[in-house]
């Protein structure tokens, strides 16, 4: 199958020469290489070639037939979004809690009275694997249509060995059957189930002795994640789980500094986490800590928007040289949406990220936060052909500027439209 996209106004995030691992530092994050009046050639699901139309016209292929030919006059072509933090597998919406928050309850108060994550966990444990799979598949379709080509998905709404394994098996099936590039994360340490509220040690034992060994045996998770937060998992409790996860060779991602500063960033950097996510509450010393390490800061502005916390200090992080990624945090409690274009708009409007920085954070750095930057996240020869063709737009900044308009004309995943 050979697809030609021609007359592209701008082919964005092109990568030639040395593969890009991630972008960190203001200069790198503001650089978004592009080719004007370009072509893109896709062969058997991979990016085969690209360049200017001028160079294409003189090649012998220009007179050949392609299985599909698209004229992208006036349109931008860019790599699909890489959404490196989602909780896409869940059973029920939580609009009742949304209304409670409108009436004045806080996210933490709702969690303390047994709602929040526990509300979703109850429903997941009552829902069959097949139903969860069907629901997740619908959500993947929606995410694909908004331009997402790679996604990380977490468990964490099971909180029992059966429930957590069920969620991870759903993710495994999605990996096998979807065009989306998917990474799976075990988040059994999302919150303490009610029956373990006064016996944290017993739940941690359950994670270490029952959940992790079975997950490792079935190869169900690429990462382990922990909600390291006041009222959830302390640093000392988290470290017990991390130790066990590393024994099974799982890499680390963390939810931390969403509500309070309890040392999660320092722990993440010390344990070599791939990413620390949220970071709504951080201080200058946390930024220095991240700048000195190799951990990506994944920012989730739609969660801050939805539950009304402050936004993470993206400018301070970028200016200090921290690699920053953007993701949706798609989940029923704090961010019920999978639209990366909205996340990019929020990043620009609320966190003062420049459009180029936001696009890097949503593509190559998102890919790096899932360790798939050698397969997706940029337009490079040999990478998976996951590309977005926009509608005709005046400039790239028009994408975050038009925060509620669908500007996508077509999404190609694995070389398939």
Instruction: Report the interface residues with Fe ion, using CB under 5 A.
Output: 329
In the window 217-276, what residues touch ligand NIG (CB under 6 A)?
Answer: 227, 255, 258
Which range touches ligand NIG (CB under 6 A), out of 165-173, 211-219, 288-296, 324-332?
Answer: 324-332
Q: Which does 116 bind (CB under 5 to 8 A by kind): Fe ion, ligand NIG, none?
A: ligand NIG
Q: Which does 212 bind (CB under 5 to 8 A by kind): Fe ion, ligand NIG, none?
A: none
Work out whether 334 is an interface residue with ligand NIG (CB under 6 A): yes
Instruction: Choose between 72 and 343: whose C-beta lies nearer to ligand NIG.
Output: 343
Minimum Å gap between C-beta 191 and ligand NIG is 8
Q: Which does 333 bind (CB under 5 to 8 A by kind): ligand NIG, Fe ion, none?
A: ligand NIG
Which range touches ligand NIG (CB under 6 A), out of 10-18, 246-254, 328-336, 394-402?
Answer: 328-336
Work out whether 377 is an interface residue with ligand NIG (CB under 6 A): no
Minimum Å gap between C-beta 293 and Fe ion is 21
Neighbours of 331 (CB within 10 A): 25
Site string for ligand NIG, 101-120 (x = CB under 6 A): ---------------xx--x
Work out whether 333 is an interface residue with ligand NIG (CB under 6 A): yes
Quick one: which of 59, 69, 53, 67 has its CA closest to 7?
Answer: 53
Minimum Å gap between C-beta 87 and Fe ion is 6
Q: Which does 120 bind (CB under 5 to 8 A by kind): ligand NIG, Fe ion, none?
A: ligand NIG
CA distances to 37, 72, 365 from 372, rounded to whole Å, are 28, 28, 10
Q: Which of 280, 329, 356, 357 binds ligand NIG (CB under 6 A)?
A: 329
Residue number of the CB atom closest to ligand NIG: 333
Give CA 277 to chain center in angstroms. 10
Minimum Å gap between C-beta 116 and Fe ion is 12
Minimum Å gap between C-beta 296 and ligand NIG is 16
Instruction: Choose between 118 and 385: whose C-beta lies nearer to Fe ion.
Output: 118
Work out whether 331 is an interface residue with ligand NIG (CB under 6 A): yes
Minimum Å gap between C-beta 85 and ligand NIG is 7
Work out whether 185 is an interface residue with ligand NIG (CB under 6 A): no
Instruction: Choose between 286 and 329: whose C-beta lies nearer to ligand NIG.
Output: 329
Minimum Å gap between C-beta 255 and ligand NIG is 5
Contact between residue 130 and residue 173 where contact means Cβ atoms under 8 Å apart: no
Work out whether 342 is an interface residue with ligand NIG (CB under 6 A): no
Instruction: Choose between 280 and 329: whose C-beta lies nearer to Fe ion.
Output: 329
- Angstrom distance (rounded) from CA 80 to CA 187: 26
Q: Which of 91, 276, 297, 303 binds ligand NIG (CB under 6 A)?
A: 303
Q: To the nearest 10°, the Cα dihedral for 301, 305, 308, 309? A: 10
- Angstrom distance (rounded) from CA 396 to CA 356: 8
- Angstrom distance (rounded) from CA 106 to CA 104: 6
Minimum Å gap between C-beta 331 and ligand NIG is 5
Instruction: Choose between 15 and 277: whose C-beta lies nearer to ligand NIG.
Output: 277
Cross-strand bridge partners of residue 181: 150
Q: Which does 146 bind (CB under 5 to 8 A by kind): ligand NIG, Fe ion, none?
A: none
Q: For binding to ligand NIG (CB under 6 A), which residues are involved? A: 116-117, 120, 227, 255, 258, 303, 329, 331-334
């Amino acid at each position: 199958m050979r697809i030609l996209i021609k007359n592209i106004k701008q082919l964005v995030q092109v990568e030639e020469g040395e593969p890009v691992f991630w972008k960190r530092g203001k200069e790198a994050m503001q650089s978004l290489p592009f080719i004007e009046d370009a072509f893109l050639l896709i062969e058997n699901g991979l990016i085969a070639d690209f360049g200017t139309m001028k160079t294409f016209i003189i090649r012998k292929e220009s007179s050949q037939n392609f299985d599909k030919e698209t004229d992208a006059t006036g349109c931008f072509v860019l790599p699909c979004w890489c959404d490196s933090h989602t909780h896409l597998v869940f059973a029920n919406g939580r609009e009742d809690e949304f209304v409670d928050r409108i009436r004045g309850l806080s996210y933490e108060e709702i969690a303390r009275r047994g709602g929040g994550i526990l509300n979703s966990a109850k429903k997941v444990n009552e829902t069959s694997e097949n139903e969860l799979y069907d629901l997740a598949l619908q959500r993947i379709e929606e995410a694909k249509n908004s331009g997402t080509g790679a996604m990380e998905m977490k468990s964490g709404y099971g909180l029992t060995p059966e429930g957590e394994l069920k969620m991870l098996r759903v993710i495994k099936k999605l990996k096998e059957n979807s065009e989306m590039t998917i990474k799976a994360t075990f988040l059994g340490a999302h919150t303490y189930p009610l029956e373990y509220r006064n016996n944290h040690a017993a739940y941690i034992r359950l994670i270490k002795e029952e959940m992790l060994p079975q997950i490792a045996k079935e190869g169900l998770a690429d990462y382990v994640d922990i909600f390291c937060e006041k009222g959830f998992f302390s640093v000392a409790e988290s470290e017990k789980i991390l130790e066990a996860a590393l024994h099974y060779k799982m890499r680390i991602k963390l939810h931390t500094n969403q509500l309070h500063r309890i040392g999660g960033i320092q722990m993440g950097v010390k344990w070599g986490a791939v990413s620390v996510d949220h970071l709504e509450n951080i201080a200058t010393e946390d930024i220095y800590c991240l700048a000195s390490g190799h951990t990506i800061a994944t920012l989730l502005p739609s969660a801050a928007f939805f539950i009304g916390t402050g936004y993470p200090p993206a400018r301070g992080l970028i200016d200090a040289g921290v690699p920053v990624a953007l993701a949706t945090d798609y989940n029923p409690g704090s961010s019920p949406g999978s639209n990366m274009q909205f996340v990019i708009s929020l990043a620009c409007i609320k966190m003062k990220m420049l459009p180029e920085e936001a696009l890097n954070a949503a593509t190559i750095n998102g890919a790096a936060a899932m360790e798939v930057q050698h397969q997706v996240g940029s337009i490079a020869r040999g990478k998976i052909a996951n590309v977005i063709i926009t509608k005709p737009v005046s400039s790239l900044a028009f994408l975050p500027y038009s925060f509620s308009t669908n500007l996508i004309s077509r999404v190609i995943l694995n070389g398939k439209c």
